């Protein structure tokens, strides 16, 4: 069977597109290892519009339940499987293969596979993830009200996270391993105006300490001298890795960090019949609410395209 559409990913972009695809009666399949995206690990998501507080795992369950509500006989929900290959077919359309050995064909594809945070490779980082080690300031900054925090990473994302934390934290220290900040100078200047903010260059974080939760970080300066900061939160902003390894080489245009380049008006990629939405795309702001809107926007365009190309 050839589907009208295959949606790759169960985060906010893919889930939103899946709901709309089902309501428009497109014969579709949505393939996801799990639902919820990166927010699945957040203990309290506070910026999902219309829901002031929700656990990340619960948000993922809500995505899946919403899909089931409209799935009927038009939307196949494939959970617990991962796409391992996406390529085009000579006669038109696309082929998707999964880890479980399944093969799907479709006239159109929406890639909403998201990205994964680049993890901090130091002692204690994995142990305290979700217990003080955080990879999303927009999600979890309010949880650290009145607590001292550290931001790891001196790019725009790091300084923007620090700016958000300054609304809650009495002291924010930013640690950057290189001898210069990669963030825009105006961003660095604006954040640095706060007397609650300290930024250190040429320092290497070596360990995260704690008992049940984070209690401090250890770092070395450029001379190799070790220092320890008492903090309750460590916000990691050292980049993200787009989940693009399953896409056939050259199938779609990507930027230098591996995000799919899209037409931001419609979400179209460089390949006719393939759209992208959410963190896998080169959209500048990576947020649940934005990803959902972009998923819906792409689906609306996909629907029109499918009607024109019957």
Query: Pairing relation of β-strands 172-175 and 197-200?
Result: parallel
The whole-angstrom separation of Cα 267 and Cα 125 is 35
Res. 284: pLDDT tops 70 = yes
State the CB neighbour count (10 A cutoff) for residue 205: 22
In this prediction, residues 175-193 reach a mean pLDDT of 92
Residue 287: its pLDDT value, please? 87
Write the pLDDT tens digit of every residue in 59-69: 999 999 999 99
Q: Per-residue confidence at 44, pLDDT binned at 50, 70, 90?
A: confident
- Phi/psi region, residue 258 (left: phi>0; alpha: psi -120 to 50; beta: rest), is left
Most distant pair of Cα atoms in the chain: their distance: 67
**Any residues with CB less than 8 A from the CB of 300 and at least 6 apart, and which?**
20
Exposed/middle/buried for 102, CB within 10 Å: 0-12, 13-18, 19+? middle
Q: How far is CA 160 from CA 86, 128, 146, 284, in A?
A: 35, 23, 19, 13
Res. 45: pLDDT tops 90 = no
Start-to-end C-alpha separation, the chain: 15
> For residue 46, what are its two tokens?
């506070």
Chain position carrying tokens 């985060």 = 11
Write the pLDDT tens digit of every residue in 210-254: 999 999 999 999 999 999 999 999 999 998 899 999 999 999 999
Q: Per-residue confidence at 256, pLDDT binned at 50, 70, 90?
A: very high
Residue 40: its pLDDT value, please? 80
Residue 156: its pLDDT value, please? 83
Strand residue runs (E) in the chain: 2-8, 28-32, 75-79, 83-88, 94-98, 103-111, 115-117, 133-134, 149-152, 172-175, 197-200, 204-210, 214-220, 226-229, 233-236, 240-242, 274-276
Res. 42: pLDDT tops 80 = no
> For residue 296, what are its two tokens?
């819906």
> For residue 83, what are its two tokens?
């796409």
Quote the DSSP letter at residue 185: H
Percent of the chain with pLDDT over 70: 99
The whole-angstrom separation of Cα 214 and Cα 229 is 11
In this prediction, residues 87-116 reach a mean pLDDT of 95
Range from 32-46, 129-143, 200-214 carrying the lowest mean pLDDT:
32-46
Residue 43: its pLDDT value, please? 67
Q: What is the mean pLDDT of the chain?
A: 94
Res. 187: pLDDT tops 70 = yes
Q: Are 164 and 151 in contact (CB under 8 A)?
A: no
Quote the DSSP letter at residue 171: -
Single out the residue of 4, 8, 63 nearest to residue 30, CA to CA.
8
* Per-residue exposure over 251-262, b if at least 16 CB sit within 10 Å of its own CB, e if not: bbebeeebbbeb
The whole-angstrom separation of Cα 178 and Cα 197 is 19
> For residue 309, what are its two tokens?
């190309």
């Amino acid at each position: 069977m050839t589907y009208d559409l295959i949606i790759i990913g169960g985060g906010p972009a893919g889930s939103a597109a899946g709901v709309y695809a089902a309501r428009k009666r497109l014969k579709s399949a949505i393939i996801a290892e799990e639902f919820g995206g990166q927010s699945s690990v957040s203990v309290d998501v506070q910026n999902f519009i219309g829901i002031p507080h929700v656990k990340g795992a619960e948000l993922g369950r809500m995505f899946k339940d919403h899909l089931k509500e409209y799935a009927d006989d038009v939307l196949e929900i494939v959970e617990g499987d991962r796409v391992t290959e996406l390529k085009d077919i000579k006669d038109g359309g696309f082929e998707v293969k999964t880890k479980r050995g399944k093969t799907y064909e479709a006239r159109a594809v929406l890639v909403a596979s998201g990205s994964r945070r680049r993890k901090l490779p130091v002692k204690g980082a994995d142990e305290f993830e979700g217990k003080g080690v955080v990879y999303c300031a927009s999600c979890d900054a309010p949880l650290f009200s009145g607590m001292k925090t550290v931001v790891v990473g001196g790019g725009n994302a790091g300084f923007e996270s620090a700016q958000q934390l300054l609304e809650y934290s009495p002291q924010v220290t930013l640690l950057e391993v290189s001898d210069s900040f990669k963030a825009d100078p105006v961003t660095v200047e604006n954040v640095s105006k706060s007397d609650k903010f300290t930024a250190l260059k040429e320092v290497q974080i070596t360990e995260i300490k704690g008992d049940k939760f984070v209690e401090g970080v250890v770092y070395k300066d450029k001379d190799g001298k070790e220092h320890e900061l008492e903090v309750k939160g460590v916000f990691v902003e050292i980049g993200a890795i787009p989940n693009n390894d399953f896409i056939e080489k050259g199938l779609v245009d990507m930027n230098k960090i591996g995000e799919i380049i899209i037409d931001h008006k419609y979400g179209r990629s460089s390949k006719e019949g393939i759209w992208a939405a959410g963190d896998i795309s080169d959209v500048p702001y990576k947020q649940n609410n934005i990803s959902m809107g972009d998923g819906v926007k792409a689906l609306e365009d996909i629907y029109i395209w499918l009607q024109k190309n019957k």
